[in-house]
Amino acid sequence: MLRTLNTFAVDLMSIPSEEDLFWYVAQNVVGKLGFQDCVIYRANEAQTELTQAAAWGEKNPYARNIINPLIIPFGRGITGQVAQSRKPIIVDDLLGDANYIADTQPARSEICVPLTCSGRVAGVIDSEHPDIGAFGDAELEILSTVAAMMCAKLELLAETRRSQERYEELVTAHSQLTVETKSRKALEAKLFESRKMEVIGRLTGSFAHEFNNLLTVISGNVELMELEEQNVGADDMLQGVKLASKRGAQLIQDLLAFAQRTRLTPKDLALNDHVLAFSTSFEQSLSRPISLDLAEELWPVSVDPMALENVLLALVMNSIEAMPDGGSPKILTENIFHTLSESHRYPSELIPGRYVRLSVCDQGGGIADAHLAQIFDPFFTTKPVGQGTGMGLSMVLGVMRQSGGTIVAHSEQGEGATFELYFPAAPGAGFQRP
Ligand SMILES: Nc1ncnc2c1ncn2[C@@H]1O[C@H](COP(=O)(O)OP(=O)(O)O)[C@@H](O)[C@H]1O
Ligand SMILES: [Mg+2]
C-alpha cells in the first residue's frame, strides 16, 4: 500500500491536468489499494452539484469515457451529503440506508470522502462494495490520504492555470501597447510635420514681409529720383536706397547665420582678449560701461573672430535695450569641465568635454516664461516696429552651433536675464581642471 502511495506521490508531479488527475487516481491508486470500485465526482463552481468525472471497476467498462455521467445535487444521497458537510461517510449496510441512490450494480456498503481545497469542495471520492461492512478506519485513512494528495495537486494546477492566464493577459496587454505605441509615433510624426510646415510658413511670411518693405524703399526712392528733373534731394534718396540695401544684406546674413550656412573661418584665440577689445570699443562708441569678470588661464577656443564680435554685439545690445534707464551689462568668462555625472547642469545638446563659458547678464526686465521658448526663433521680437528685427538671437544660436557650442538663456520676469555661451575648448589646448 505504501508503495502505491509513494508511486502516486512521484507520478503526481507529471500529471498535466485535473482530468488526468481524476482518472489516474481512480484507476491507478484506488484501484490498486484493494478497493473494488471507485467513482470520483467533480463539484461545480457554484458548489451546488457533483458530476461523475472518473471511474474504475465494473461501473466503467469503457476505459476513460463516462457515458451519461451521473449528476447529483449537493445534499442528496451519500455523495451529496459528503459534499455538503465536507465530512467523510461510511455506510455499513446500504439496504438499511434511506440515502442510498441505487446504481446499476448492487452494493451493500459504501465509503465516501470529500476533496476539500482552499475552503472549497472540489469533489468527492466514492467506493462501494458488495459485502456488508467492507470499510473501516483503515480504508478511511487511505482514502483521506489520497484525497489530501489530490487536493495539493489540484491547488498547484489551479495556480499554474492562473499564472498562465496572467501571462496571456500580459502578452495581450503588451501587444496592445505595441499597437498603441505605433499609432502614437505615427501621430507624433504627423504633428511634427505640421509643426514644421507651420514654422516654415511663418518664417517665409516674415521674411517676405521684411524684405518687401526694404525693396519698396529702394524702388520708391529710385522712381522718385527718375521723376525729379533737377535731382533735388537726390542725395537723401540715395542714402535711403543704400540704407535699405544694407539692411537687406544684413537680413540675409542673419538668416544664413541662423541656418548655420555662414562661411566661418575659426581661429584659436584667447576669448578674454577679444572681450576686452570689444568692451573698450563699445564703451567708447556708446558711452555705456560694461563690467567684466574674466577668469584667469582661460582655455583657448576655436571661433571666427568676426562672428564672435557680432555675437557679443547682439547680446550686449539686447542687455542695453532691456535696461533703458541705465545699468551696465556684465560679461563673465570661466572654464567648464563638463562630465557625464554632472550633465544635468549643462545644456542637454552638449556632449561632455571642456568648454569655455561666456555669460552676458543684465538687471533688466527679464523674459516672460511664455517667451523663453521663442526668443531664438527668427523674427521673434517684443520690441516696437522699427526697433527690433528679431534676428539677433537667431543669428547667435546659429553661430554658436556652427562653432560646436550652443547658447542658453536663463531669466525670470523682472529679475534680469543671463545668456550663457558655451565654446568648445580648442583641441590640444593646455588644460587644467578648473
Ligand atoms: N537681455 C534681455 N532681456 C530681456 N529680453 C530679452 C533680452 N534679450 C533678448 N530678449 C527678448 O528676446 C527677443 C528677441 O531678441 P533678438 O533676437 O535679439 O531680437 P530683437 O532684439 O530684434 O527683438 C527680444 O525682443 C526680447 O523680447
Ligand atoms: Mg536684439
CATH number reported for the structural domain that contains residue 134 in this entry: 3.30.450.40
Question: Using alpha carbons only, how large is the chain's radius of gyration in Å?
Answer: 46
Write down the mean pLDDT value for the chain: 89
Residue 16, domain member (yes or no): yes
Q: Is 366 left (phi over 0), alpha (psi -120 to 50) or beta?
A: left
- Tell me the pLDDT tens digit for each residue of 280-324: 999 999 889 999 999 999 999 999 999 999 999 999 999 999 999
Query: Which of the listed residues 393, 395, 397 should we mutate to test ligand 1's pocket, taking the one with most ligand atoms within 8 A of CB?
Result: 393
Same domain assignment for residues 16 and 154: yes
Q: Cα of 380 to ligand 1 centre, how many Å?
A: 8
Residue 289, domain member (yes or no): yes
Between 395 and 34, name the one with better pLDDT: 395
Q: Where does a domain end: 117, 142, 164? A: 164
Q: Which atom of ligand 1 sits closest to the CA of residue 394?
A: 17
Query: Which grid cell is 224?
Result: 522718385
> Is the pLDDT assigned to residue 190 strictly greater than 70?
yes
Residue 235, domain member (yes or no): no
Same domain assignment for residues 285 and 395: yes
Q: Is 297 left (phi over 0), alpha (psi -120 to 50) or beta?
A: left
Same domain assignment for residues 282 and 403: yes
Contact 360, 316 (CB under 8 A): yes
Q: Where does a domain end: 98, 130, 164? A: 164
Same domain assignment for residues 273 and 158: no
CA-proximal residue: ligand 1, atom 19 (nearest) = 390
The backbone torsions φ and ψ at residue 358, rounded to the nearest 5 degrees and listed phi first, read -115, 120
CATH number reported for the structural domain that contains residue 364 in this entry: 3.30.565.10
Same domain assignment for residues 116 and 264: no
Q: Cα of 353 to ligand 2 centre, how many Å?
A: 30
Residue 36, domain member (yes or no): yes
> Is the pLDDT assigned to residue 58 strictly greater than 70?
no
The band of 434, judged by pLDDT with boundaries at 50, 70 and 90, is very low
Q: Cα of 388 to ligand 1 centre, how many Å?
A: 8
Residue 201, domain member (yes or no): no
Residue 187, domain member (yes or no): no
Query: Which of the listed residues 203, 258, 318 should we mutate to test ligand 1's pocket, taking the one with most ligand atoms within 8 A of CB?
Result: 318
- Tell me the pLDDT tens digit for each residue of 107-158: 889 999 999 988 899 999 999 998 999 999 999 999 999 999 999 899 989 8
Same domain assignment for residues 271 and 143: no
Residue 186, domain member (yes or no): no
pTM of the model: 0.60
What's the structural domain count of the chain? 2
Residue-number span of the structural domain to which 47 is assigned: 2-164
Residue 278, domain member (yes or no): yes
d(CA 184, CA 179): 9
Same domain assignment for residues 141 and 287: no
Same domain assignment for residues 13 and 141: yes
Q: Cα of 392 to ligand 1 centre, how many Å?
A: 8
